[in-house]
Amino acid sequence: MMLGRTASGLYWMFRQLERAENTARLIEAGFRMALTRSVSASNEWESILTTAGCREAFLQVHDEIETGAVVDFMLRSKDNPASVLGLYSSARRNARQVRTALTREVWEAVNEGWMTLNGLLSRQVRLAELPDIISSVRQHSALVRGMLYGTMLQDDSFNYARLGTFIERADNTARILDVKYYVLLPATSYVGSSLDNVQWETVLRSVAAERAFRWLHGGESKPAEIADFLILDRRMPRALYYCCCEIVDNLAGLASAYGIRKPSHELAETAQARLGQSSIEDIFDAGLHEFLGEFLVRNNALGNQIETDYRFYE
Amino acid sequence: MELWGKVLAFDEMHDGTGKPRKPFADYAGWLEGYSPAELRRKAREAETFFRRTGITFNVYGASEADERLIPFDLVPRIIAAHEWARLEKGIEQRVQAINAFLHDIYHKQEIVRAGRIPLKLIAENDAFLPKMLGVEPPGGVYTHIVGVDLVRTSKNEFFVLEDNARTPSGVSYMIENRETMLRMFPELFSRIPVQPVGDYPTNLRRALARSAPPACRGRPTIAVLTPGVHNSAYFEHAFLADQMGAELVEGHDLRVVDGRIAMRTTRGYMPIDVLYRRVDDDYLDPLNFKPDSVLGVPGIMDIYRAGGITIANAPGTGVADDKAIYSYMPDIVEFYTGKPPILQNVPTWRCSEPDALAYVLEHLEELVVKEVHGSGGYGMLVGPAASKRERAAFARKLKARPANYIAQPTLALSTVPILTRAGLAPRHVDLRPFVLVSPDRVHITPGGLTRVAMKKGSLVVNSSQGGGTKDTWILEDR
């Protein structure tokens, strides 16, 4: 049992950290594409801005979609509350707010991450520094996660933290897939072209799954297998099904701690069952884009229901 | 050390010949093994440690990236066991008198009837709360937490400068300063026997739990009420709640449910038994006090009066610590304990009295003049350090509202060295020990917060005026 405000702070803190990490990975994938020049960089950046949900905000302050401007906007711009730095600041603000629900180690990991990024991102980033900055974001996220696992009591506070992580991660993976869904369709025209290979590679990279996929599927990338891997694989920590299972488990943790089930539990179990009983062929038959759109809506509704069920607000 | 060319201040580390005094002897020996460069590196490490831990305070209106640190000096202030023993007795006596005084003021007012203090001192005091008349606080405790500000002027002379009976702050620095020293210089603590301060949160929890209200069933639920994350002492509020295993609540988490104050939790509203509030009386209850306050809980005073919750410190304790009451403390101590005070007050002129006012106006260049309700080192005149024009301007204010001021001699506050770029240099210090009061006992943590004026010759130690802090060591008796 804890304050509703504290549960809310934990949940949002971990959503923001997850999103910061994913944004950094998107930037990395986009930057790689821009470097290889195999596709139009501005198209790629545009789809990355769309995935991150900040295309409109970007176009309000920039006329042209160009690597330096996009990287700056997504990493540190004051015009973008969902920049990596903006997200870290919000996460740290939430961490201060819920300081009593965190161990000293978790708090210090967040605080140090914020201090480091504040230093690294205090001025316009030179593209040569980008790899170091991205790896710093990753390291700090990993540190917070490690401290969470290594030092926190695995009670309800842990459940709220994990719920935030997986609601956000499911949202992010679904968005990445949705923006790129057309390259995953088993259409005939592009199959096997080098353009497609680059596109698939980007999708896999933006969820840090390129290596795992290669190990599981050998050298050959087929779009249906990529979609299957990122949607339905129970072993892949960024797959939608994996996220659904984690959400169900953490809600079950709350149900057993509090001795009561809530409406969010039904929603989560329904979402889990839908994925568990589908094959990738079913999903393609029903339409990948439609499937992802619906998933995003349901995931969002689930998040709202959790906030209501556990009294995050008055 | 010379003070404005007139007064010699007592240095706690070095005697007149430059040799270390006894309590500092072991430390001074150890210090010789460190070069100034090494010490400066340690000082930078300490700063990084404070920043990472988040022991920072917000400056109102500044951005997050501008969070400030209170300067920490790594030369400890060391007090011998026998020196401390006397302070401890004096503080306990004083704090017991304060609680007896508060009970009397809000009940029979015998001290007024006995003619020992004037009625108008109470009746016209803004901190006096008529709503507390006849109220019996749970366990009879008014001030669960007290900070007594002490200054030292010679080997054996300590004075009480001020009592803090409302919501004294700074205890988190006492604990974190020690934590930092333990990290920086672990070997020091195996060489020198220092009494620990780290059990303060456990003792605080105990003191609060012992004062649970009649409505409490089972193990008391304790919460710390903070104005929120933008308050300059937020770190301390979170720190204490965390260390006690108590909830850290804000006004909007609380409401009245079934005759209790309850907090909104993930499982619905749960009653709180003891509220350690870090919100001033005025803001505590918009129904009973300031109607526009959003920091408090509407109706909490009514629940309190009905025995539904313990508020620590009790509302209305401010009447015992303002500077006008201060001058009566020797009488108050004697009246309730039947014994003369062990700790002395600084001689004080009440400017409300015509003779005193005349004396003060004539001797402004020697005196410190303070506002009766002021705090934080604001609105005061340090006569010897002020210019002629500043003194003249202050004299006009003094004549316009004499009752608003008290005056005291400028004390030669003792000094302890700090680490400067040029090596060790003496700076003036004061000391705030922290006292916990429960129905069955008074507990004083051996140590406290030493505040130090970082500027050469300055007597103002307040952190809002650039003061710093030091770890305070009370040696074990052996």
From A152, A182, A204, the end of a domain falls on: A152
Q: How far is CA B18 from CA A167, B6, B452, in A?
A: 66, 20, 21
Evaluate if residue B3 carries a pLDDT over 60. no
Are residue A213 and residue A110 in the same domain, yes or no? no
pLDDT of residue B122: 92
Interhelix angle A67-75/A84-97, nearest 10 degrees: 0
Contact B54 A96 (CB under 8 A): yes
Share the mean pLDDT of chain B: 92
Best of A1, A3, A151 to substitute, by most chain B Cβ atoms within 10 angstroms, is A3
Residues 51-90 of B with CB under 8 A from A: 51-54, 64-65
Q: Is A88 helix (H, G, I), strand (E, B) or coil?
A: helix
The tokens of B130 are what?
């008529």
Are residue A173 and residue A308 in the same domain, yes or no? yes
Are residue A209 and residue A112 in the same domain, yes or no? no
Query: Distance from B240 to chain A by nearest Cα, in Å?
Result: 9
Residue in B with minimal Cα distance to A2: B265
Of the ranges A22-26, A143-147, A221-225, B160-164, which one carries the lowest mean pLDDT score?
Answer: A221-225
Contact A2 B247 (CB under 8 A): yes
Secondary-structure percent of chain B, ordered helix, strand, coil, rounded to 5: 35, 25, 40
Mean pLDDT of A262-284: 95
CA distance B224 to B242: 10
Q: How many domains does chain A have?
A: 2
The tokens of B299 are what?
């109706």
Of the ranges A33-47, B122-136, B224-238, which one carries the lowest mean pLDDT score?
Answer: A33-47
Evaluate if residue B341 carries a pLDDT over 80. yes
Are residue A175 and residue A216 in the same domain, yes or no? yes
Evaluate if residue B385 carries a pLDDT over 80. yes
By the CB < 8 Å criterion, does B262 face chain A? Answer: no
Q: Give exposure, A124-156, as e/b (b: 16+ Cβ within 10 Å).
A: ebeeeebeebbebbbebbebbbebbeeebeeeb
pLDDT of residue A189: 47
- The whole model's pTM is what? 0.90
Evaluate if residue B43 carries a pLDDT over 50. yes
CA distance B345 to B353: 19
Starting at the edge strand that comes first in sequence, how are the strands of the sheet with B247-249 ordered? B247-249, B222-225, B274-277, B310-312
Are residue A169 and residue A287 in the same domain, yes or no? yes
Residues in chain B: 478
Specify if A49 maps to a domain: yes
Pairing of strands B367-371, B405-409: antiparallel
Specify if A57 maps to a domain: yes
Specify if A119 maps to a domain: yes
pLDDT of residue A42: 84
Evaluate if residue A199 carries a pLDDT over 80. no
Mean pLDDT of A273-292: 92
Specify if A157 maps to a domain: no
From A125, A152, A179, the end of a domain falls on: A152
Domain that includes residue A194, residue range: 163-314
Q: Which chain B residues are Cβ-neighbours of A4 within 8 angstroms?
A: 253, 264-266
Are residue A97 and residue A6 in the same domain, yes or no? yes
The answer to whether A254 and B267 are in contact (CB under 8 A) is no
Mean pLDDT of B443-452: 97
Q: How far is CA A132 from CA A22, A120, A121, A135, B315, in A?
A: 16, 9, 12, 5, 55
Evaluate if residue A55 carries a pLDDT over 80. yes
Specify if A39 maps to a domain: yes
How many A×B Cβ pairs under 8 Å?
68
Residues in chain A: 314
pLDDT of residue B293: 87
Contact B54 A112 (CB under 8 A): no
Contact A96 B270 (CB under 8 A): no
Best of B63, B266, B269 to substitute, by most chain A Cβ atoms within 10 angstroms, is B266
Are residue A225 and residue A132 in the same domain, yes or no? no
Are residue A138 and residue A234 in the same domain, yes or no? no
Are residue A38 and residue A108 in the same domain, yes or no? yes
Are residue A96 and residue A199 in the same domain, yes or no? no
Share the mean pLDDT of chain A: 91
Are residue A182 and residue A145 in the same domain, yes or no? no
Residue in B with minimal Cα distance to A157: B266
Contact A99 B248 (CB under 8 A): yes
Query: Distance from A314 to chain B by nearest Cα, in Å?
Result: 8
pLDDT of residue B62: 66
Out of B52, B234, B263, name the one closest to residue A3 (CB).
B263
pLDDT of residue A136: 95
Specify if A34 maps to a domain: yes
Chain A interface residues (partner B, CB cutoff 8 A): 1-7, 89, 92-93, 96-97, 99-100, 104, 107-108, 111-112, 115, 118, 156, 254, 258, 310-311, 314
Out of A96, A112, A118, name the one closest to residue B52 (CB).
A112
CA distance B200 to B207: 10
Query: Distance from B110 to chain A by nearest Cα, in Å?
Result: 44
Out of B54, B241, B264, name the one closest to residue A314 (CB).
B264
Mean pLDDT of B100-124: 95
CA distance B292 to B299: 14
Evaluate if residue B236 carries a pLDDT over 80. yes
pLDDT of residue B4: 44
Specify if A158 maps to a domain: no
Out of B65, B250, B266, name the one closest to residue A156 (CB).
B266
pLDDT of residue B2: 36
By the CB < 8 Å criterion, does B47 face chain A? Answer: no
Q: Which chain B residues are Cβ-neighbours of A12 within 8 angstroms?
A: none
Evaluate if residue B6 carries a pLDDT over 50. no
Query: Distance from A205 to chain B by nearest Cα, in Å?
Result: 33
Mean pLDDT of A278-294: 92
Residue B56 pLDDT class (50, 70, 90 cuts): confident
Query: Distance from B323 to chain A by nearest Cα, in Å?
Result: 35
Best of A100, A163, A308 to substitute, by most chain B Cβ atoms within 10 angstroms, is A100
Are residue A148 and residue A243 in the same domain, yes or no? no
Evaluate if residue A186 carries a pLDDT over 80. no
Evaluate if residue B61 carries a pLDDT over 80. no
pLDDT of residue A38: 60
Q: How far is CA B399 from CA B52, B224, B352, B405, in A?
A: 49, 43, 10, 10
pLDDT of residue B1: 34
From A96, A123, A152, the end of a domain falls on: A152
Evaluate if residue A192 carries a pLDDT over 60. no
Query: Distance from A89 to chain B by nearest Cα, in Å?
Result: 9
Query: Distance from B50 to chain A by nearest Cα, in Å?
Result: 11
Query: Distance from A279 to chain B by nearest Cα, in Å?
Result: 37
By the CB < 8 Å criterion, does B249 face chain A? Answer: yes
Instruction: Say if residue B322 is exposed, middle or buried (CB neighbours under 10 Å; 0-12, 13-18, 19+).
Output: buried
The tokens of A17 are what?
């950290």
Evaluate if residue A313 carries a pLDDT over 50. yes
Closest by Cα among A59, A84, A90 to A71: A84
Residue A37 pLDDT class (50, 70, 90 cuts): low
pLDDT of residue A143: 96
Residue A188 pLDDT class (50, 70, 90 cuts): very low
Specify if A276 maps to a domain: yes
